[in-house]
Amino acid sequence: MGAGVPVCDAVAPKPVYAMEVLMNLSNAKTGHVQSADVELVAWSWLTRMGLDVAAVTRTPDRVSVEGRVQAQWDDGPLELAYRLECEADWRFVRLDARTVYRGDTRTLELAWDGAQWTDGQGRRDDLADAAYIDIMATPITNTLPVCHASWQPGASQVFTMAYVRLPELTVEPVRQRYTLLATEPDGRRRFLYETLGPAGERQAGATGLTGYHGQDSTFSAELLVDAGGLVIAYPPYWDRMPAARALADKGI
Return the pLDDT at 18: 45
If 0-12 CB within 10 Å is exposed, 13-18 middle and 19+ buried, where does residue 29 land? middle
Asked whether 47 and 211 are in contact (CB, 8 A), the reply is: yes
Could you tell me how far CA 78 lies from the centroid of its own chain?
16
Amino acid identity, residue 95? L
Distance CA 62, CA 1 (A): 21
Q: Where are the domains of the chain?
A: 15-250
3-class DSSP assignment, residue 17 = helix
DSSP 229: S
Beta strands in 18-123 (DSSP E): 37-45, 50-59, 62-73, 76-87, 92-101, 104-112, 117-119, 122-123
Distance CA 59, CA 203 (A): 36
Asked whether the CA dihedral 195, 196, 202, 203 is positive or negative, the reply is negative
pLDDT band at residue 208, thresholds of 50, 70 and 90?
low
Cis peptide before 139 (omega within 30 of 0): no
Q: What is the pLDDT of residues 73-95, one digit of tens each?
A: 988 999 999 999 999 999 999 99
3-class DSSP assignment, residue 177 = strand
Overall size of the chain counted in residues: 252
Return the pLDDT at 197: 87
Percent of the chain with pLDDT over 70: 75
